[in-house]
Chain A
Amino acid sequence: MSLVLTEEQSILQQSAAEFYSSVMPVTAFRQLRESEAVFDAETWSQMVELGWSSIMVPEELGGLEFGLMGMGILAIEGARTLAKSPLTTSAAVSVAALNFCKPSEQRDALLSALAAGEKMAAFAHLETTQFKPAIIRTQSASAADGYNVNGSKSCVENAQSSDVILMTARSPNAGFSESDGFILLIDPKADGIEFNSVGLIDEREYADISISDFNIAKDEKLEWNDDAAVAQVLDTATVIAACELYGCSLEAFERTLEYVKDREQFGNKIGSFQALQHRLAHQYTQLELLKTVVYDALSAVEKNRKDAALAVSHAKALANDTARLVTTEAIQMHGGIGITDELDIGLFYKRARVLRTMWGDSVYHRSRFASLSGY
């Protein structure tokens, strides 16, 4: 029953909705952007207490092993209030990256620490501003007691505020294919690593990283499970982004629906105008399709289904297109107030606009979908 939430998943969804709307409403996002802090440590520790940091961590390492579906539900609900926390970068994507690595003392210890909320991690993979996931130029060469690392990463989310960066790299003579390579555990506070903040319109923490002549110990290099691992991590990141896009879109849509039922012009509620009704009805149909496709992709990745990559590309392409439609229409249907900073609608547009570019735009994912379908 992968397209309908189980009882446990429904309960998680309800408590997430309650938590985000009471503890982390959009006003919390506004407060954070006025302050120096990236996250609110207090709310994050509450999330850890709820078990959310350990949802994807295996049971034997202190996790809940609740699956990607559970994380997807949290990502959807969190996006509805623009919640800022290490949840998606650390508890979802970084944990997924470690899950797809071969077990080792370092890896297991880090997973346990992430589960317990004792540490936060960031995942650094992309090296270009256009989405080209196969390009990895960052190299790690054997050195005296370990490895020597050189390279750069582009626009890594939460890199500076993390305790550890999971950086993809390859050996000096390897070709540029996704299939070889490994993960390096990098301490962001060490010497030899440089950050350049990238301030994007969604006002989250991003930075370009350059790293040169950086030494790590032998056990700070982790091996991927198999050739498919990088793609699986990217698919996890991509489907989580699709979840967030769904959450942003749904929230913007529901707020707009409320507004058109309230606002009057020409002596009528503007929601009675057919020109708006038909567009809203169409958006509703797209949101229902998106919900289905996002659930399907979460379940496909969680169960490691054969068509998981196809399902993920489908979800991201539809999420991008639906978010584009719904969040721009939301601004339009609010009229002048829609383009003010005072109203939240524009914030949903800005967040969605960034997410649409992150992890691949629609053209990229339709092309991948076509290749995977044999055309």
Chain B
Amino acid sequence: MSDLDAFRLETRAWLEENCPESQRGPVTPDMVIWPGKNQTFPSDDARLWFERMRDKGWTCPDYPSEYAGGGLSRAEEAVLREEMQRLNCCPPLTDQGIGMLGPALLEFGTEQLKAEHIPKIARGELRWCQGYSEPGAGSDLASLQCKAEDKGDHFLINGTKIWTSYGVESDWIFCLVRTSNEGPKQEGITFILVDMETPGVKAKAIDLISGASEFAQVFFDDVKVPKTNVVGEIHKGWTVAKSLLKHERKMMSELSKGVLGGTAALPDVAKEYLGSTDDGEITEPLYRDAIAQYEMNMRAIGLTGYRTHQEALARKMDTNVPLIMKYLGTSELQIKDELLVDMMGLRGLGWKDEQFNESEQRATRELLFNKALTIAGGTNEIQLNIIAKRALGLPKGPHS
């Protein structure tokens, strides 16, 4: 037996023993375990599951063990992920620190920053948010204006960030700020970490169409931040941001695979709300056709993910193919949301009353929330720009 097979068996046994029954999916939004200074848990089981995984370093299995990570190789991490999927385990910790900031710190951070922050990310001691977008800088992120003035040993930050997910709940924020106006706009940007308890930082919640308020606008008013909090070089934050964006897009396309998932399957909903024949055929042919179309597209996307995986193993990977996954996955999910609500009729559109059942309420919430998926992490139009340029080598136009 290879080492990897042995690792698989060990991992399987450990998970079966240590993952509480209630922490096995389908994972619903109210089961998510967040970190933070004042961490609270959805349930006692959730706390137990988190602590067990944390103590093995498996909240961040691919981080080095010297920083409280699991120290697993890529292959081992893949095994752990597969085994967790097998049991449908709830992720033991969810945060923007884990998938985005951590890898960037490991790549670009000073030894001091790594030692201070990575173990806290892995142990869930701080909750992180991402301060990139501004009212005037979205897709064209490099035009950001939030200003950081050099004051010798510290920067003085003034300006605002917007669409900051979990900005109100977070303890720290990683920001892109403007440290110079000279040269191309990408070159005067610095990547910096800010403690949100610093005087002058204020976060104001923004209500969403889904009724949730997961976003904030964050204001900086003469905020003093030590220069040691800079990640990478001063004025060279764009390099860090670009590397981090890769991780973000990967996260987004995984999100669209239905990690949030657990919504009812379309054929079941069709049969329940529209009816079916004795053979179990959906009676409305146009809905049946639309559902088959959606199911085919999801099957094609899933198989294509599997193909790139196989290609990577055979060292024949077409590196352009991963570029298409976010665009495809997020678009399909929105098609599903709309179909689901169409079939439920008015019962899929409940906002306030109690009379709508769990899956109806869920359909409504996701319909509204998932509109964000084709915007966040680079809009679908931006994804198409990237595909046109990188995969197809089309000439640059005025907007691409």
Hey, which bits of chain A sit against chain B, CB under 8 A?
1, 3-4, 257, 260-261, 268-269, 271-274, 277-278, 280-282, 284-285, 288-293, 295-296, 314, 317-318, 363, 366-367, 369-371, 373-375
Contact = CB atoms under 8 A, between A and B. Distances in A.
A370 B282 contact: yes
Contacts of B55: none
Contact of B296 (A261, A272, A369): A369
A252 to B, nearest CB: 14
A293 B303 CA distance: 7
A375 B267 contact: yes
A272 B388 CA distance: 9
A269 B299 CA distance: 37
A284 B295 contact: no
A375 B271 contact: yes
Interface string B377-400: 000010011011001111111111
A367 B392 contact: no
Given A269-B395, A271-B395, A367-B289, 13 more contacts: A1-B310, A1-B313, A4-B307, A271-B394, A272-B400, A274-B385, A277-B394, A278-B381, A278-B388, A284-B324, A375-B267, A375-B280, A375-B291
A261 B395 CA distance: 7
Contact of B282 (A269, A282, A363, A375): A375
Contact of B291 (A280, A288, A363, A370): A370
Interface in B297-341: 297, 299-301, 303-304, 306-307, 310-311, 313-314, 316, 321, 324, 327-328
B260 to A, nearest CB: 22
B150 interface: no
Question: Chain A at the B interface: mostly helix, strand, loop or mixed?
Answer: helix
A373 B289 contact: no
B270 interface: yes
A277 B296 contact: no
Contacts of A261: 393-395
B229 interface: no
12 contacts: A4-B310, A261-B394, A272-B395, A278-B385, A284-B387, A314-B296, A318-B296, A366-B289, A366-B296, A369-B295, A370-B267, A375-B267
A72 to B, nearest CB: 15
Nearest to A282: B384
- Which of B291, B311, B384 counts the most A-chain CB atoms under 10 A from its CB? B384
B391 A284 contact: yes
Contacts of A272: 394-398, 400
A284 B288 CA distance: 27
Contact of B306 (A3, A314, A369): A3
Contact of B388 (A1, A3, A280, A371): A280
Interface in B259-306: 267, 270-271, 276, 280-282, 285, 288-289, 291-293, 295-297, 299-301, 303-304, 306
A3 B301 CA distance: 13
Contact of A277 (B282, B316, B328, B397): B397
Contacts of A257: 392, 394
A317 B306 CA distance: 20
Contacts of B311: 3-4
A366 B288 CA distance: 9
Contacts of A268: 395, 397
B392 A363 contact: no
Nearest to A277: B388
Nearest to B293: A366
B95 to A, nearest CB: 31
Interface string B350-372: 00000000000000000000000
A3 B307 contact: yes
Interface in B199-217: none
Contacts of A366: 289, 292-293, 296
A329 B345 CA distance: 36
Given A1-B314, A314-B299, A281 B397 contact: no
A274 B399 contact: yes
Q: Ordered nearest first, which 9 A-B pairs have the shortest CB separation?
A: A272-B397, A375-B267, A277-B388, A281-B387, A366-B292, A3-B307, A289-B300, A281-B384, A285-B324
A301 to B, nearest CB: 15
- Which of A4, A295, A369 counts the most B-chain CB atoms under 10 A from its CB? A4
A288 B304 contact: yes
B98 to A, nearest CB: 29
A281 B391 contact: yes
Given A272-B395, A277-B384, A366-B289, A4 B314 contact: yes
A285 B387 contact: yes
B314 A317 contact: no
B324 A280 contact: no
B296 A3 contact: no
A144 to B, nearest CB: 45
A314 B306 CA distance: 17
B161 to A, nearest CB: 28
B304 A373 contact: no
A274 B296 CA distance: 29
A285 B325 CA distance: 9
Contacts of B393: 261
B387 A292 contact: no
B287 to A, nearest CB: 10
B307 A273 contact: no
B400 A274 contact: yes
A291 B307 CA distance: 10
Contacts of B392: 257, 277, 280-281, 284
Given A3-B306, A3-B310, A373-B295, A285 B328 contact: yes
Contacts of B297: 289
A367 B291 CA distance: 10
A257 to B, nearest CB: 6
Interface in B235-277: 267, 270-271, 276
Nearest to A372: B292
